[in-house]
Structure 1
């Protein structure tokens, strides 16, 4: 399976920093993301997982490539996670799709009016997000769900360009977990938003308003515990807590 996946890549991207800034549209950026081969460890892992599979998904054809963002190109809200799950997005090709973390997230998005349906099981299941786009600082599934700092930094140009393209409409960002929070701060600072010193600290329900240097709208940054099973199974993050943060994001972004 890994060899078949490799053949799907027509023009592999080996250095995101060289090509990401040249993407003129979100769709073009997404296509480039899906062809990235910049991190050898992540390439090996994502393809190994796609070949060996999990028993429950042995009949599925895994995506096994970098997973681009998902949602409208004029989103007012962005949700930033960590990285694709090995048997979730790495299998289905769509962020937070096909795993229990996604089950929790999309149910909450539906409950607050930001998703057209409460489930996300496959890339062609008809789900649409409302004013919301989901992305991540690392686009490949990492071993043990732990990308390295160099892998995060190599992947950063994708997220930076995505935020630049979303700039005209983007008003609020919900960051799921401390890893995403730390990865996002330099991205927004290098774009058009001012990150204060000392930098805002991550925490559940943390809120920072970042003024824009271009004279446009400020960006509201909201923290939320990650929707990992470790957090949702233990009650560290409850559905009500997640809905509260998403509702705040919706209100700040004036969606709906």
Structure 2
């Protein structure tokens, strides 16, 4: 964040690691820093290429996953399924070993979160989602080749629509749904690839793969 013309705050696509916009999240960060001082414990930056045509939007960093490692979806079960699927469909190369130094590279793809700091119980408050929106807006603006957005879960879906000023009633969230946002940009929905969703079979590997198959055809 930096002052712009007429003193207006200009937001970059990535918040500072120790962002202070949400008091509750700052307090939770300090609590985690006291318990685990060697963890990343900060606003997790996006991962991938700025020339991506596909942007994947998650909910927020997991306490023991991205909040620990500093890379989205890295270090928890959701990442195991997501990165395995990205590798399968050619959106990543290398080997995913749940570590930011595993050498994994994304291809034509970027991953970010609707909320960049870990929230207690993985549940951000509406004000925290809104506070993070300027960074998400800047993130979208800095992807010149973006064609497809994949929202993992309703919060990511709603953050995308709010940022782009699209009406939720015209674009209801549903697994596998495709929403035309503009002549050259579409939004796909998927249930979040969390352990809870997969354990309860709300989301199966086949359901998740089917969304990526549609996205691959879209980009082809």
Alignment TM-score, normalising by the size of structure 1: 0.79
CA distance in structure 2 between the aligned counterparts of 1:64 and 1:198, rounded to whole angstroms: 36
**Residue among 187, 195, 214 paired with 2:163:** 187
2:12 pairs with 1:44: no
Task: Give the structure with the larger helix fraction.
Answer: 1
**Residue among 143, 146, 154 paired with 2:120:** 143
CA distance in structure 2 between the aligned counterparts of 1:130 and 1:230, rounded to whole angstroms: 28
CA distance in structure 1 between the aligned counterparts of 2:151 and 2:42, rounded to whole angstroms: 23
Report the Cα offset of residue 197 of structure 1: 7.4
Q: What residue number does 1:192 align with?
A: none
On the 8 A contact 1:163/1:188 being kept in 2, the answer is no
Report the Cα offset of residue 122 of structure 1: 1.6
Matches within 5 A, 1:1-256: 18-20=9-11, 23=12, 29-30=13-14, 32-53=15-36, 61-117=38-94, 119-166=96-143, 168-189=144-165, 195=166, 198-212=169-183, 218-254=184-220
CA distance in structure 2 between the aligned counterparts of 1:118 and 1:234, rounded to whole angstroms: 28
Report the Cα offset of residue 171 of structure 1: 0.2
Q: Give unpaired runs (5+ residues) of structure 2.
A: none
Alignment TM-score, normalising by the size of structure 2: 0.91
Q: Give unpaired runs (5+ residues) of structure 1.
A: 1-12, 24-28, 54-59, 190-194, 213-217
User: Secondary structure of 1:86's partner?
Assistant: coil
Task: Give the structure with the larger strand fraction.
Answer: 2
On the 8 A contact 1:114/1:130 being kept in 2, the answer is yes
In the comparison of the two structures, how many residue pairs are matched? Answer: 216
Gap change, CA 1:118 and 1:249, over 3 Å in 2: farther
Moved over 4 A (4+): none
On the 8 A contact 2:95/2:103 being kept in 1, the answer is no
CA distance in structure 1 between the aligned counterparts of 2:83 and 2:138, rounded to whole angstroms: 25
CA distance in structure 2 between the aligned counterparts of 1:234 and 1:199, rounded to whole angstroms: 29
Report the Cα offset of residue 225 of structure 1: 0.4
